[in-house]
Structure 1
């Protein structure tokens, strides 16, 4: 594994060397020879040059070439920067284990594009590749659904539930869900949704927040007196500050 990581880092350094950046002085001094960014054919040539010194299995080369091509190609030529090796290295190491065009692969690709775009590079952080590597496909799909809802409607997924109150034991009972907007359709393991929420919280990406104040539920006792019999809670699954920054870097 250490050798694989070292190889990924070495490739990352070579890719960074091969991708040209804007040279303001040269642009002014040699306008006729101005060359900003890379054309599609330049990308393919660069990737071949990068892989040449390394003994990499043909299957892995075939996988990395289109991945890098797509990631570089979505960045406007005038905005292209060399990707930081500390971001590109872990991405190349992580992508080798992911199916092509999976939600995880797409997050890696978008992060690489962000790190190479001078208008968005400030959103890329080396820690984000490590977050992606710890996600399951279901968790990536859930994050994408949350982000899409936030961009489309400016809100988060909501939950509303009640808990009965036992006056004798002074304890609240199990949750009885009334409204649950958290999407499960399309998940491979929808029964793991509670664990996914806990894991994303542990990663510092999402958390459940109180949407509004809780409401006590009252009823009448045998004497006609009003007593509390339960509570109603209103929650929202939101991105943390880190989560918002992460999604800005790994989304189109």
Structure 2
């Protein structure tokens, strides 16, 4: 018998070994496969313990948000008059519930899903709840939803937007900032606004049109007070040193909700 084996036996037979160590040895000798799972779990915790704790917090937060979603849904459905309540549409409601599980941690998206689902069960608004809306809603970020809500609740129907850069020669342009826009009533970072406009346009909820503009220069004055406009003006001056015929470029356009966007907002944002 080797020296290592002898030492192991001596170690196992130590009379003052703690009970926990005895149990561990017993698992190794009597039920090795049972102990594999615990050993792996211990190693997992040592490596990913911090991540696991964060994941647990996320799970608890998600459970809390999900409960709030259920409460909001129950309340919204209870508020529908009995004579206007409809059986939930499997096509719309099932899709909405399935897609909402990715969004319940966002308050605004949770509210929009609540209104879509309860609206589909109200005879006054059910015709507006198109089956494509759950998928559209799932693909919106909280910033997208905030911006869309801001446009829908505004008293305006058209909103000024501008493309800014340098006109080099003829019809040649170097665009520095596309779709510069100031939301009517909310504050978002420039990058968020640009990304959300692209997202909402891709979903066909808004249109961005540079072949039309709002009558009256005063509607665009606020865009000429932005850092983007100042940067373009400075760039145009420097650029004109080597390109004498170049000038700053400010193209006016407008943003509007599409027909789909108006219907989507009326069911997912509008009160019902």
Give TM class, smaller chain: 0.5 to 0.7
Match of 2:268 in 1: 250
Match of 2:257 in 1: 239
Per-residue deviation, residues 202-234 of structure 1 (Å, max 9, x unmatched): 11111212443899xxxxxxxxxxx99465422
Structure 1: gaps spanning 5 or more residues: 1-57, 216-226
Aligned 1:36-185 pairs, distance under 5 A:
62-63=67-68, 65-99=70-104, 102-149=107-154, 153-160=155-162, 162-167=164-169, 170-175=171-176, 180-182=181-183, 185=186
1:108 and 1:250 in contact (8 A); partners too: yes
Once the two structures are TM-superposed, the CA of residue 237 in structure 1 deviates from its matched residue by 1.8
How far, CA to CA, are the matches of 2:172 and 2:214 in structure 1?
Answer: 19
Per-residue deviation, residues 171-213 of structure 1 (Å, max 9, x unmatched): 1233579x842369554x6523212211211111112124438
1:198–1:176: structure 2 CA closer, same or farther, 3 Å change rule? closer
2:99 and 2:138 in contact (8 A); partners too: yes
Per-residue deviation, residues 161-180 of structure 1 (Å, max 9, x unmatched): 5543222x751233579x84
1:184 and 1:193 in contact (8 A); partners too: no
TM (normalized to structure 1)? 0.60
1:209–1:99: structure 2 CA closer, same or farther, 3 Å change rule? same
Structure 2: gaps spanning 5 or more residues: 1-62, 218-244
Aligned-partner SS, 2:123: coil
1:182–1:175: structure 2 CA closer, same or farther, 3 Å change rule? farther
Relative contact order higher in (CA < 8 Å, ≥ 6 apart): 2
TM (normalized to structure 2)? 0.56
Q: Rg larger in 1 or in 2?
A: 2
Match of 2:15 in 1: none
Once the two structures are TM-superposed, the CA of residue 85 in structure 1 deviates from its matched residue by 1.0
How far, CA to CA, are the matches of 1:176 and 1:101 in structure 2?
Answer: 30
Once the two structures are TM-superposed, the CA of residue 124 in structure 1 deviates from its matched residue by 0.7
How far, CA to CA, are the matches of 1:162 and 1:93 in structure 2?
Answer: 42
Aligned-partner SS, 1:92: helix
Q: Does 1:197 align with 2:197?
A: yes
Per-residue deviation, residues 123-167 of structure 1 (Å, max 9, x unmatched): 111100111100100100000001011xxx232331245543222
